[in-house]
Amino acid sequence: MNHRAQGSRSELSGDESSMRVNRLSGESGLTLVELIITVAIIGILSCAALPVARFQVKRVKERELRRDLWEMRDAIDRYKDAADRGGMKIKADSQGYPPDLQTMVDGVEVQDKKVRFLRAIPVDPMTKSTDWGMRSNQDDADSDSWGGQNVFDVYSKSNDTALDGTKYSTW
């Protein structure tokens, strides 16, 4: 029986063996149509993901801008509080507000101690610059030019529109 089984294996006709080879080679890869469809689906999905990625990047920048504005406004408030308590020398027309942003970084003498209100002037994530718009308390609320008397408020100099439809310069 062993001899017979071995003989039957080797007695395959030429047509049967070529069919077996063709079937194996046809199943081992993708056809051109399948490959084109796969590439098209991947392309469509990546095109759909691109706006989502841009939206996410803009949202992160907006979060940074809000944080930077809050940090500088908080520093202005702390400077004003220290000036109102009489702990430092101020100019008569400043009303206790800092003369510029750099003064809050450099620090001032408060009761014989050097106090810094900011570690550094933050970089505006929208303009990629440390050049912020400033308003003094003598300026109009919607003014885009700084009178130079003091720093009452800061804003971004970007004219771009936020995701919520407002201008960054109005934040």
In which domain, by residue range, is 146 found? 14-159
Q: Decide: 88 and 108 in contact? Cβ < 8 Å.
A: yes
pLDDT at 8: 47
Query: Distance between CA atoms of 115 and 108, rounded to whole angstroms?
Result: 5
Q: Provide the β-strand partners of residue 133.
A: 155
Q: pLDDT digit string (tens) for 99-109?
A: 999 999 999 98
Question: Would 135 be classed as within a structural domain?
Answer: yes
Residue 121 inside a domain? The answer is yes
Residue 115 lies in a domain: yes
Q: How far is CA 94 from CA 80, 145, 160, 164, in A?
A: 10, 17, 31, 35
Is residue 5 in a domain?
Answer: no
Tens of pLDDT, residue by residue over 35-72, are 899 999 999 888 888 888 888 999 999 999 999 999 99
Is residue 4 in a domain?
A: no
Q: How confident is the model at residue 26 (pLDDT cuts 50, 70, 90)?
A: low
The residue among 90, 78, 58, 71 whose CA lies nearest residue 164 is 58
Tell me how many degrees the CA angle 72-78-83 measures, rounded to the nearest 5: 125
Residue 7: inside a domain: no
Least Cα distance to 66 among 156, 128, 133, 143 occurs for: 156
pTM: 0.69
Looking at the 3D structure of the chain, how many domains does it have?
Answer: 1
21 within a domain of the structure (yes/no): yes
| Residue 170 resides in a domain | no
